[in-house]
Amino acid sequence: MKTTAARSTRTLRTPGGLSLRTDLRSLVVVVALVLAACAASVVLIGTGDFPISFGDVVRTLAGNGTAGQDFIVNELRLPRVLVGLLVGASLGLGGALFQAISRNPLGSPDVLGLSQGATSGALVVIVLMSGSAAQVTVGALAGGLLTGLAIYLLAWKQGVHGYRLVLVGIGVSAVVTAVNGYLLTKADFVDATRAVVWMTGSLNGRDWSQVWPLLALCAVLVPLVLGNARGLRMMEMGDDVSHALGVRVERVRLLLMVSAVLLTAAATAAAGPVSFVALTAPQLARRLTRSPGPNLVPSLCMGAALLVTADWASQRAFGSDQLPVGVVTGVLGGVYLLWLLVTERRAGRI
């Protein structure tokens, strides 16, 4: 086993003295997931009432399409696909961070109540203020951040530990879900319908106004998270060992938790509470890479590939009925959660 591990790991060094340790299997998985996400995106762009072939989509994206193809691809369908990729990547990375911090495969934003908290913020704007789409986005961000802060403060006791974080998160999730139900009962018919549609999780009607804020946030947070990946890996050995190795445990944990909350809240604000991507993407990535670490980059790529594939399935797999992508991820994720619970119980971990 040691020989195999040594052969599968390479260290890349630059002339400036920097080094990067890479696992060849993880690198292959990341490349395969990126290619799968790109291929699924092109297929998704070509899907619709006016179908466009794979080759024509590629030519149009390269600037060689007709005027009609250019409008359909670049103005109507490309923003939706980009939002799907960014939302999936944000949820995959956020889920990987929470699972690594809590050291629990159930420690995802869905279970901890962050998605429900973002939903509460959006419902307050929709039901009580009849706010615009931009105001709903701000409300979802604020709700996610406040929920994350509440979970962190309630779970704090000389530090934040994994199982306490999960238990507090489950409790907060139950409370926030009850609040969401109460808000729906107080809404009039039009606002309640609008709220239910948003709560399903959908990429319908997404345009460039949702792409740029989410892209800017990812451009800031993803490098920040990857820059602290070494500390996160050490924290999996325990806080005492991490302290001895020079890691500022609570500082790194707080920084990564804030990043995960922002990623989850921004993804929820952009597409609604798309369920179970944050739970399943890190687990599937870990099973593909067979690596015990947090698998941040594979989880990010897996989340993006999962969401665009689920969006394609929501449009094509049910005949003339087009479902919101959140319905598809909810069904598949629910089945996966049941399988995960059975597996963890048989292993004696829960």
Whether the predicted pLDDT of 1 surpasses 60: no
For residues 316 and 302, what is the distance between their CA atoms, to the nearest angstrom? 21
Quickly state the pLDDT bin for 298 (edges 50, 70, 90): very high
Structure token digits, residue 27:
């690198």
**Are 276 and 72 contacting, i.e. CB atoms less than 8 angstroms apart?**
no
Quickly state the pLDDT bin for 4 (edges 50, 70, 90): very low
Quickly state the pLDDT bin for 294 (edges 50, 70, 90): confident
pLDDT digit string, tens, across residues 131-179 = 777 888 888 889 989 998 888 888 877 666 667 788 888 898 899 999 9
Whether the predicted pLDDT of 18 surpasses 50: no
Q: What pLDDT, on a 0 to 100 scale, did the predictor assign at position 285?
A: 92
**Are 110 and 337 contacting, i.e. CB atoms less than 8 angstroms apart?**
no
Dihedral sign computed on CA atoms, order 32, 278, 129, 322: positive
pLDDT digit string, tens, across residues 43-97 = 999 988 888 889 999 999 988 888 888 899 998 899 999 999 999 999 999 999 9
Dihedral sign computed on CA atoms, order 195, 277, 172, 266: negative
Q: What pLDDT, on a 0 to 100 scale, did the predictor assign at position 65?
A: 80
Kind and range of the H or E run holding 20: strand 19-23
Structure token digits, residue 318:
């049910």
C-beta neighbour count of 181 within 10 angstroms:
10
Q: 213 by DSSP, 3-state: which?
A: helix
Q: At what angle do helices 249-271 and 114-123 cross, to 10 degrees?
A: 50
CA 155, chain centre distance (Å): 23
The single-letter code of the amino acid at 118 is A
Q: Read off the pTM.
A: 0.87
For residues 209 and 270, what is the distance between their CA atoms, to the nearest angstrom? 10
Q: At what angle do helices 277-289 and 325-346 cross, to 10 degrees?
A: 60
Kind and range of the H or E run holding 342: helix 325-346
Q: 100 by DSSP, 3-state: which?
A: helix
Beta bridge partners of 30: none
The single-letter code of the amino acid at 165 is L
Quickly state the pLDDT bin for 297 (edges 50, 70, 90): very high
User: What distances in angstroms separate CA 65 from CA 35, 39, 286, one per listed residue?
Assistant: 22, 18, 40
3-state helix, strand, coil in the chain (%, to 5): 75, 5, 20
